[in-house]
């Protein structure tokens, strides 16, 4: 099982170049970065984990810029978002960012997408909270139209549209790997089966019960049974937990790093080294 990592990189943490080099040298499989463009101080939406919102949420680096730096100083390290808040992006611009990063990294990019939890942040992007999932679905389809080998027009139900266009570079294979994050449920599983390559469950809780339900939705959609990818994300590891994920068929797990300085983060990497294959 491949062992990757995620971290809230900020202006106060270890920098992406130093971290990426250390991850590749130590044998970790990948680096995934989260996204928040801003956190409105009104704080009307409660933090999902409870309590005060951690400081790092309002200070996160742009994941595509940071991953571009990481790509430039590594050769094998997988790169990904965990997650891109797809409804908050112009899909034409996002399609270009994704394709460029995939191209420049040698096809090492995974697009993790999701729909967020902060209503105020989404509202500032003009997102109607009640339709954000439908908007995200529409925008991903538009992006795939731009990644298509032939110039392809797209007009979606949410109003997202693009004319048949020249849009290069193209992601290798027509699309990067796309993983959808979010809580288990029929709506999410239906969207994974329709549009994505797999699921990125935060924390990895409840997989024993959820995976059979997801597999059923996946196969009902006509997807190849062995094609489903499940990557437990932001996991605080233990030997028993990782062994359980491996027994469930997970080929990759993403471990949570602290949003700290160089000494703290490298110390945790030393501790996590015991889990490397």
Q: What pLDDT band is residue 179 in, cutting at 50, 70 and 90?
A: very high
Q: What pLDDT band is residue 100 in, cutting at 50, 70 and 90?
A: very high
pTM exceeds 0.85, yes or no? yes
Q: What is the per-residue pLDDT for 145?
A: 98
| SS3 assignment, position 81 | strand
Residue identified by tokens 């992007």 is 125
Report residue 61 as tokens.
């680096």
Mean pLDDT, all residues of the chain: 97
Residues 6+ apart with CB under 8 A from 176: 98, 102, 107, 109, 110, 111
Residues 6+ apart with CB under 8 A from 129: 119, 122, 123
50 secondary structure, DSSP code? S
Q: What is the per-residue pLDDT for 214?
A: 97
Q: What is the per-residue pLDDT for 73?
A: 98
The Cα–Cα gap between 157 and 177 comes to 24
Q: What pLDDT band is residue 205 in, cutting at 50, 70 and 90?
A: confident
The yes-or-no verdict on residue 204 having pLDDT over 90 is no
pLDDT tens digits for range 211-248:
999 999 999 999 999 999 999 999 999 999 999 999 99
The Cα–Cα gap between 269 and 77 comes to 15
* CB-based contact 126:153 (threshold 8 Å): no
pLDDT tens digits for range 49-90:
999 999 999 999 999 999 999 999 999 999 999 999 999 999
Q: What is the per-residue pLDDT for 253?
A: 98
Q: How far is CA 53 from the centre of its chain?
A: 21
The Cα–Cα gap between 4 and 106 comes to 18
Q: What is the per-residue pLDDT for 53?
A: 97
* CB-based contact 138:192 (threshold 8 Å): no
More confident residue, 158 or 89: 89
Q: What percent of the chain has pLDDT over 90?
A: 97
What integer is the mean pLDDT of 158-179?
A: 96
Report residue 103 as tokens.
């191209």
The Cα–Cα gap between 164 and 177 comes to 23
Q: What is the per-residue pLDDT for 240?
A: 95
Q: What is the per-residue pLDDT for 262?
A: 98
């Amino acid at each position: 099982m491949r062992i990757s990592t995620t971290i809230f990189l900020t202006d106060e943490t270890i920098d992406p170049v130093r971290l990426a080099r250390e991850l590749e040298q130590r044998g970790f499989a990948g680096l995934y970065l989260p996204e928040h463009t801003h956190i409105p101080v009104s704080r009307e939406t409660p933090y999902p984990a409870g309590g005060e919102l951690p400081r790092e949420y309002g200070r996160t680096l742009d994941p595509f810029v940071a991953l571009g730096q990481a790509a430039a100083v590594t050769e094998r390290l997988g790169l990904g978002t965990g997650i891109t808040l797809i409804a908050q992006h112009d899909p034409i611009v996002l399609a270009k960012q994704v394709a460029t990063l995939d191209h420049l990294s040698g096809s090492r990019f995974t697009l993790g997408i999701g729909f967020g939890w902060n209503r105020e942040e989404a509202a500032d992007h003009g997102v109607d909270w009640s339709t954000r999932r439908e908007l995200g679905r529409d925008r991903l389809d538009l992006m795939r139209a731009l990644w298509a080998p032939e110039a392809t027009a797209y007009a979606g139900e949410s109003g997202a549209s693009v004319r048949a266009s020249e849009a290069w570079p193209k992601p290798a294979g027509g699309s990067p790997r796309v993983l959808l994050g979010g809580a288990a449920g029929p709506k999410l599983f239906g969207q994974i089966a329709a549009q994505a390559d797999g699921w990125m469950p935060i924390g990895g809780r409840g997989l024993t019960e959820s995976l059979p339900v997801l597999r059923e939705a996946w196969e009902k959609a006509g997807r190849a049974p062995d094609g489903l990818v499940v990557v437990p994300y932001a996991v605080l590891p233990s030997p028993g937990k990782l062994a359980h994920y491996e027994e469930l068929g997970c080929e990759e797990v993403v471990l949570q790093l602290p949003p700290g300085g160089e000494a703290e983060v490298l110390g945790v990497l030393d501790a996590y080294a015991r889990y490397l294959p």
